[in-house]
Structure 1
Amino acid sequence: MTKYNQAFKQQVVDFYFTNHESLSITRKHFNLPPETVRQWIVQFKHSGSSGLAVRHHKQTYSPEFKFNVVQSVLLGQFSGRGAALHFGLSSSKMISQWLKLFEKQGINGLLSKSKGRQTMKPKYPKMPPKPKNRLEELELENLRLRAENDFLKKLDEIIKREDRKRQKPSKP
């Protein structure tokens, strides 16, 4: 969800124009960062009130669209901010990310990735669910005891091997 709605952005831009286009007065009055106010003003000048519209869902872009944006910046047709305005993007930060991906991975960097964070696979198997009845409880205890027994056997084997290494007489 966005921090500011379209009505608030419009109020800030209107205040800016009614106060002799003073950025410092506007940002102080609304307690906003100067870059935010600047961006809203530029968006308003370029697209009018629709430039201040809030998008209610995350926009996804095709690799072709991303490539066109990146190419326009690389060929010098637009700056990052200019491309954001021209192509109707909310900020130039996204374009910066696309440029970095394109420089590192080429066109493959612009291909859509799966959404969200990748889940990490657990290193160890999950614990079985809590037993629901006495039989399941006994089976779980049996499983735990088997694992403990296997562990102790392995530990005993390691200890015996270490003892043999220590007791082995060195050859003269």
Structure 2
Amino acid sequence: MVKYSSKLKAEVVGEYLQGRTSMQSLSEKHNLPKRQVSFWIQKYRLSGVDSLKRKKTKRSFSAEFKIDVINYYQTHDETLAEVSARFDVNKCQISSWRTAFNKHGIEALKSHPKGRKSKVKNDKKKLRHLINKNELDQLREELAKKNQELYDTKLENDILKKSMTLFGTSKDAKKHK
């Protein structure tokens, strides 16, 4: 995708609005597609000069915003290009949101974590959490964990004792003696 400077966009829109030339002659003069010139003019008319500036940062949109854009597109008699210019979002982005919403519902519009899950345990988070607690709470928490471990061990030991009384020693153990 070709990226055009904000200066070129402003120059082309300014020439058109002054009435000196048509879209066709502007596109030939600057060696641009006519649709691109038309899109810039439309964006300028709907959103002003700021819409011609390039975005430096990656933007993220909430699920509510996405739903609002989809609802606006479906309820108003405007083209996808007009809606994209009005909300300052790419046409293909609106189209993909709409498709995802129709297939999977609102859950598809919510943001999801990117990338592979970490295999390393989050020990740093646990340490930060422990530092924030006071020492007495830390000791109580450790004691509760140890008590739970002791209970689990006793329960496991009781199960093993009962299974030994029910089933006796295994036949393989008798053969080896």
TM bucket, shorter chain: 0.5 to 0.7
Partner of 2:61: 61
Give, in angstroms, the shift of residue 31 of structure 1: 1.0
Query: Contact (CA 8 Å) 2:13, 2:41: kept in 1 or not?
Result: yes
Q: TM (normalized to structure 1)?
A: 0.59
Aligned identity (percent) is: 29
Which AA in structure 2 matches 1:58? K
CA separation of 1:99 and 1:2: change in aligned 2, threshold 3 A: same
Three-state SS of the structure 2 residue aligned to 1:3 is: coil
Runs of 4+ in 1 over 4 A off after TM superposition: none
Higher fraction of helix: 2
Q: Which has the higher contact order (CA 8 A, sep 6+)?
A: 2
Unaligned runs of 5+ residues in structure 1 are: 120-172
- Compute the TM-score of the two structures, normalised by the length of structure 2: 0.58
1:114 and 2:113 are equivalent in the alignment: yes
1:33 corresponds to which letter in structure 2? P
Unaligned runs of 5+ in 2: 117-177
Name the residue aligned to 2:93.
94
* CA-atom RMSD in angstroms: 2.3
1:7 match: 7
Paired residues of 1:2 and 1:54 also in contact (CA < 8 A): no
How many residues get paired? 116
1:105 aligns with 2:139: no
**8 Å CA contact 2:42, 2:82 repeated in 1:** no
Return the alpha-carbon distance in structure 2 between the equivalents of residues 12 and 57 of structure 1.
Answer: 25
Q: Partner letter of residue 110 of structure 1? A: L
Paired residues of 2:40 and 2:52 also in contact (CA < 8 A): yes
Name the residue aligned to 2:34: 34
